[in-house]
Amino acid sequence: MAFGIGGAVGTALSPLPWKLTDDLSIWTQNWPWTPVPPHGEVTQVDSVCTLCPGGCGISVRKVEDRVVKIEGMPGHPVNDGGICLLGASGAQLLYGPSRIEGPLKRVGRRGDGRWQPVSWKAAVAEVAGKLGVLRSGGEPHTLGCLLRSDRGTVPGLFSRLLTVFGSPNLMRMPSIQDTYELTLYQMQGALALPGFDVDNTDFLLSFGSGYIQGWGSPVHMFRAHSRWRNRGGRVVQVEPRLSISAAKADDWLAIKPGTEAALAMGLSHVIITESLYDRDFIENRCRGFESWVDAEGRIQPGFKQRVLNTYTPAKVSEITGIAAADVVRLARDFAKAARPLAICGRGRGRVPGDLGAFMAVHALNALCGSIQRAGGVWAVPEPDYINWFQPEMDKVAATGMQQSRLDGAGGPQYPLARYLTSYLAEIINAGKGYPLKALLVAGDNPAYTLPAGGNVRKALDSIPFIVSFSSFMDETTRMADLVLPNHIYLERLEDVPLAQGFSRPLVQLCKPVTAPQFNTRHSGDVVIDIARALGGSVATAFPWKSYADCLKETLGGNFQKLMRQVYMVGRGTGAPGHNAAFETASGKFEFTNPEFKIRPDYEPIEAEGDAASFPLVLVPYDSMRLASGFVADSPFMVKAVDDTVLKGRDILVEINPQTARKYGLADGAIALLRTPRGKARVKIYHFEGLMPGLVAMPTGLGHSAYDEYIGGKGVNFNRLIGPVQDPVSGLDAAWGIRAKLTRV
Amino acid sequence: MSTADEKSRKAAAQPSGSIPTAEEGPAPADTAGGKVMAFFFIGLAASLFVGWIVFPKLLYSQKKQPIDFNHAMHVQEVDNGCESCHFFRPDGTFTGIPKLDKCLECHEEVQGDSAEESRFVNQYAQKGKEVPWLVYAKQPACVFFSHVAHVRMGKMDCAACHGNIGESQHTRVYEQNRISGYSRDIWGRNISGFKRHTWDSMKMADCAACHKRAGVHQTSVQTGKGACFVCHK
């Protein structure tokens, strides 16, 4: 005991306890597993975010070569310093665990996830070998290629490869761009992209568009929304659900889903009857407003006639469920605003939609003169800087290119559509046309993003050779035979030819912010490599030493300029004016294009399924906190998802309490959701902001691939819905699907 | 009456450790007390030995720098003293220990006849590999330290914190704290924490003392002393 006391006194008189306490406190405040930004030189590199088509400028803060923060680029015309949740968490995509570290070859069964790393040389040789067989067998058209976008040099290289190879089957992923492009072509004769001058509008009428939920260029829309708030602009949201966009609007009109076109026509009715339309524009710049006599001497009803005959407020009220008085009031407010703008494309605009409805909304804009003027819709010219020499095609390629497209786009049934990617799976599964023997997938994740996910997987499974160019181990890549991972946007050089929905033409340059983390390779370079390995006329179409050379040559003098300043605003920087914009045969805005006889109208698109077995209707909703496109959520975003959307691993579906009571579904209960396309386990969330009879489900969840932070949470909406064809354009116009909820 | 011998026999028969009674007299208590004191002092001495001698030896591991760097020689060769290699970037941040790039400005090829230099050139410079220097002055990650605030604005000399390292011909052994992972230089060579020079230790108390003397933000609402957020952001 004395020894102990002596020891204690001695210890107290020695530095041991004090030093130990100090060291332990330092240790506990600096856990070795807590990441600490490295010390070093801090630099800021400006580039472009390509995680969505919004085209925001980003300013990336680096310490040495490590990316530590991504902010919006100040002064950028699209986002001026602003950034969204996904853009801000881009560093997690760069350093996250789902990156593919090098070229991989499948060794197990499809989808087993067993891979063998291979060299780039061997991988390219394998692709060239497999594709070479198709060419030598005289069936080059059985090669398909799925891309996210068809603009810019990298899609350009893929497209060129397919052309000289001999396949017409280049497909772009569907979106409202498809329908808006057709609308502009029909009514303005322009091969153009829609631009919305949201900065200058003072009345936004949104037909279900999630204008602050990812529609158009998301951050640009946020900024515009703030401006409307500050300057007293008005926003009216028309949709069946109290979305964030509806909640932030000045007025929310709950409409029966799928009837938006009828409302647009009804508003036109009031505007025409009360003579509130832009007389100068209608009389001098438009055709087809009044009835006319065609070449055969028959009287063709004009837009005015059809609207006045069919879409009275009472009739529209019956179709849409919106009171006739509200229709009249909204029409007056819209027409009397100085610079009104109507937009459409539901939610984020993932589904193309029906052409008649888009044209009805565009006609509404035309009535108020909101075409090609400040605060209106502008036709933004297609980027025109890619002027490569015409490639020489050998006989095999020429014969292959004569084949009709597998998806039927541009064919006898749907001559207008450029791409009908949503139906590819159905066509393959039904054994129509010819079988696809090889598929290249770049920049998208069709197994997740296309409707009827089950069918898509089945279709992919029937394709003997799939090559994925994805940087991430996503759902489609898991089904690939060969993975040729691209650099991610922070590691690569690439032109970004447009900013979706932005009113001016914008060419931007995404440049490497940091060195590639892994043994990845630029897809542009890989396409050139494959072409070279194929030899012959395919190789001679690609004379560039590397993708960088190709890009420099393509951009010419602008390359250095873009390297310095990231973006260039192209021609047509002011409101483009009316004269140059209408490239129709008449040189005027066409309410009904006489060539195609396609006109603005309301044609009901029914939800798939029979009402007897499926009494409810399932509709999707998009949110800024869930990336529903080719990029999955970042782990950071998953943390930001409300527990009214995702709780644990369960997805919550919204249902009106009144409907829920009818089916005995308590708040928080687990239920089985069935649609004609599939079923899923869901949790019930009573939400009075949703129209009775509907069930609303968030998009962007339910990834089965990726990592533990992203995968295995909730349900993928695309698995539960199938495409519903617009009879006019052939594009997918599904807005919902019949559904049934049962308690489990 | 019993004799003294009897008493001592009785005392010896007492079970050890039991308390002697009053009538048994003072002599045996003296012996036991002596023993207690002896044990106390043995314990005291042992713990002091452990605390002062053994513990510091155990606490720190000894590491050698990857290259034996000669500061004195380099200072003679360069024009701008310490700042020739340890300089401020245009944005005001401090480079600290130079990266390989800086070394390569002179050492792409072997310059002299030092074995260490040729080892540096062969093992690092030519392979483009950064030298994993051990940083004596590295503060824990929870401390924010700005060189520009001290050297430029505070007009402090490098030696005030780093000592006369510029005159050293060899690198010292780097003693790493096995618990916290930081250098012994932070606490100081002297285990008791006493210092003779300003640079002997760089603990929070050292920073605070200097900040107090210089009147740096002595504005903490909570403590009335230096504001925490000056260093702990």
Contact B47 A10 (CB under 8 A): yes
Looking at residue A130, which CATH number applies to its domain? 3.40.50.740
Residue A44, chain B, CB below 8 Å: the answer is no
How deeply is A660 buried, as exposed, middle or buried, from its count of CB atoms within 10 A (0-12, 13-18, 19+)? buried
On average, the pLDDT of chain B sits at 85
Contacts of B39 in chain A (CB under 8 A): 1-3, 6
A383 pLDDT tier (thresholds 50, 70, 90): confident
Pairing of strands A115-117, A203-209: unpaired
**pLDDT digits 0-9 by tens, A685-704:** 999 999 999 999 999 999 99
A672, two tokens: 């089985």
In contact, A163 and A401? CB cutoff 8 Å: yes
Residue B209, chain A, CB below 8 Å: the answer is no
> Closest-CA residue in chain B for A9?
B44
Residue A180 domain-assigned?
A: no
Residue A648, chain B, CB below 8 Å: the answer is no
Which pLDDT does position B118 carry in this prediction? 93
A40: closest CA of chain B, how far (Å): 7
B47: closest CA of chain A, how far (Å): 5
The span from the CA of A346 to the CA of A237, in Å, is 11
SS3 of residue A711 by DSSP: coil
Q: How many domains are there within chain A?
A: 4
Same domain flag for A679 and A724: yes
What's B41-67 look like in SS3?
HHHHHHHHHHHHHHHHHHHEEEECCCC
The span from the CA of A85 to the CA of A218, in Å, is 11
Residue B192, chain A, CB below 8 Å: the answer is yes
Contact A2 B181 (CB under 8 A): no
Same domain flag for A193 and A309: yes
Contact A14 B50 (CB under 8 A): yes
> Closest-CA residue in chain A for B177?
A23
**pLDDT digits 0-9 by tens, A611-649:** 999 999 999 999 999 998 888 889 999 999 999 999 999
CA angle (A680 as vertex; A613, A658 as ends), nearest 5: 60
The span from the CA of A595 to the CA of A584, in Å, is 10
Contacts of A10 in chain B (CB under 8 A): 43-48, 50-51
On average, the pLDDT of chain A sits at 94
CB-side neighbour CA atoms (13 Å) of A217: 32
Looking at residue A666, which CATH number applies to its domain? 2.40.40.20
In contact, A436 and A142? CB cutoff 8 Å: yes
Mutation test of the interface with chain A: which of B60, B61, B180, B182, choosing the one with the most A Cβ atoms within 10 A? B180
Contact A19 B191 (CB under 8 A): yes
Residue B33, chain A, CB below 8 Å: the answer is no
Nearest by CB to residue A23, choosing from B45, B50, B179, is B179
Contact A6 B192 (CB under 8 A): no
Contact A15 B140 (CB under 8 A): no
Same domain flag for A121 and A16: no
| Mean pLDDT, residues B131-145 taken together | 91
Contacts of B45 in chain A (CB under 8 A): 6, 10
A211, two tokens: 């204008």
Which pLDDT does position A528 carry in this prediction? 98
Same domain flag for A197 and A135: no
Residue A6, chain B, CB below 8 Å: the answer is yes
Contacts of A5 in chain B (CB under 8 A): 40, 43
The span from the CA of A195 to the CA of A198, in Å, is 9
Same domain flag for A153 and A241: no
SS3 of residue A43 by DSSP: strand
Count of CB pairs separated by less than 8 Å, A with B: 101
B39: closest CA of chain A, how far (Å): 5
In contact, A660 and A667? CB cutoff 8 Å: yes
The span from the CA of A211 to the CA of A195, in Å, is 14
Helix (H) or strand (E) holding A583: none
Residue A84 domain-assigned?
A: no
**B-proximal residues of A, 325-354, CB under 8 Å:** none
Nearest to A220 by CA among A244, A250, A196: A196
Contacts of B177 in chain A (CB under 8 A): 23
Same domain flag for A205 and A306: yes
**pLDDT digits 0-9 by tens, A227-254:** 999 988 999 999 999 999 999 999 999 9
In contact, A459 and A423? CB cutoff 8 Å: no
In contact, A195 and A170? CB cutoff 8 Å: no
A15: closest CA of chain B, how far (Å): 6
ipTM of the complex: 0.80
Contact B43 A23 (CB under 8 A): no
- CB-CB neighbours of B158 under 10 Å: 18
Same domain flag for A540 and A654: no
| Mean pLDDT, residues A259-264 taken together | 97
SS3 of residue A10 by DSSP: helix
B61: closest CA of chain A, how far (Å): 14
Contact B43 A16 (CB under 8 A): no
SS3 of residue A205 by DSSP: strand
Contact A23 B192 (CB under 8 A): no
Same domain flag for A512 and A645: no
Which pLDDT does position B112 carry in this prediction? 87
Which pLDDT does position B22 carry in this prediction? 46
| Mean pLDDT, residues B36-50 taken together | 89
Strand positions, DSSP E, chain B: 60-63, 174-177
Looking at residue A266, which CATH number applies to its domain? 3.40.228.10
Pairing of strands A506-510, A42-48: unpaired
The span from the CA of A407 to the CA of A396, in Å, is 21
Residue A15, chain B, CB below 8 Å: the answer is yes
Query: Residue A499's domain spans which residues?
Result: 104-174+415-549+558-569
Contacts of A33 in chain B (CB under 8 A): none
The span from the CA of A155 to the CA of A497, in Å, is 11
Question: How far is C-alpha B124 from the geometric centre of its chain's CA atoms?
Answer: 29
Nearest by CB to residue B96, choosing from A2, A16, A39, is A39
Which pLDDT does position A29 carry in this prediction? 84
Residue A13, chain B, CB below 8 Å: the answer is yes
Nearest to A205 by CA among A246, A236, A169, A162: A236
Which pLDDT does position B29 carry in this prediction? 59
**pLDDT digits 0-9 by tens, A291-315:** 988 888 888 899 999 999 999 999 9
Which pLDDT does position A572 carry in this prediction? 53
B31 against A688, higher pLDDT: A688
Residue at a domain's end among A569, A601, A626: A569
Question: How far is C-alpha A388 from the geometric centre of its chain's CA atoms?
Answer: 28
The span from the CA of A351 to the CA of A361, in Å, is 17
The span from the CA of A335 to the CA of A277, in Å, is 7
Which pLDDT does position A571 carry in this prediction? 62
Contacts of A515 in chain B (CB under 8 A): none
Residue A51 domain-assigned?
A: no
**pLDDT digits 0-9 by tens, A566-595:** 999 876 544 556 556 788 888 899 998 777
Contact B52 A14 (CB under 8 A): yes
Please give the C-alpha separations between residue A406 and each of A12, A96, A151, A156, in angstroms, as whole numbers. 85, 37, 21, 20
Contact A10 B36 (CB under 8 A): no
Residue A401 domain-assigned?
A: no
Contact A23 B36 (CB under 8 A): no
Strand positions, DSSP E, B97-226: 174-177
Contacts of A30 in chain B (CB under 8 A): 140-142, 180-181
Same domain flag for A189 and A331: yes
**pLDDT digits 0-9 by tens, A476-529:** 999 999 999 999 999 999 999 988 999 988 999 999 999 999 999 999 999 999
Contact B50 A20 (CB under 8 A): no
Please give the C-alpha separations between residue A160 and each of A219, A324, A736, in angstroms, as whole numbers. 33, 53, 37
Among residues of chain A, what percentage have pLDDT more than 90? Answer: 83
Q: Is the pLDDT of residue A143 over 80?
A: yes
Contact A29 B41 (CB under 8 A): no
Mutation test of the interface with chain A: which of B47, B57, B175, choosing the one with the most A Cβ atoms within 10 A? B47
Q: Is the pLDDT of residue A17 over 50?
A: yes
Contact B40 A6 (CB under 8 A): yes
Contact B187 A3 (CB under 8 A): no
Contact B43 A19 (CB under 8 A): no
Residue A674 domain-assigned?
A: yes
Q: Is the pLDDT of residue A191 over 50?
A: yes
Which pLDDT does position A308 carry in this prediction? 96
Residue B112, chain A, CB below 8 Å: the answer is no
The span from the CA of B41 to the CA of B47, in Å, is 10
**pLDDT digits 0-9 by tens, A149-184:** 999 999 999 999 999 999 999 999 999 999 999 999
With tokens 């005959």, the residue in question is A309
Residue A655 domain-assigned?
A: yes
Contacts of A31 (CB under 8 A, 6+ apart): none
Contact B50 A24 (CB under 8 A): no
Residue A86 domain-assigned?
A: no
Which pLDDT does position B13 carry in this prediction? 47
Same domain flag for A209 and A110: no
How deeply is A449 buried, as exposed, middle or buried, from its count of CB atoms within 10 A (0-12, 13-18, 19+)? buried
Mutation test of the interface with chain B: which of A1, A5, A19, choosing the one with the most B Cβ atoms within 10 A? A19
Residue A45 domain-assigned?
A: no
Same domain flag for A688 and A721: yes
Same domain flag for A190 and A160: no
In contact, A589 and A344? CB cutoff 8 Å: no
In contact, A484 and A468? CB cutoff 8 Å: yes
**pLDDT digits 0-9 by tens, B172-227:** 999 999 998 899 999 998 888 888 999 999 999 999 999 999 888 888 888 777 88
Contacts of B106 (CB under 8 A, 6+ apart): none
Nearest by CB to residue B51, choosing from A3, A11, A22, is A11
Nearest to A342 by CA among A194, A213, A230: A194
> Closest-CA residue in chain A for B40?
A6
Contacts of A18 in chain B (CB under 8 A): 193
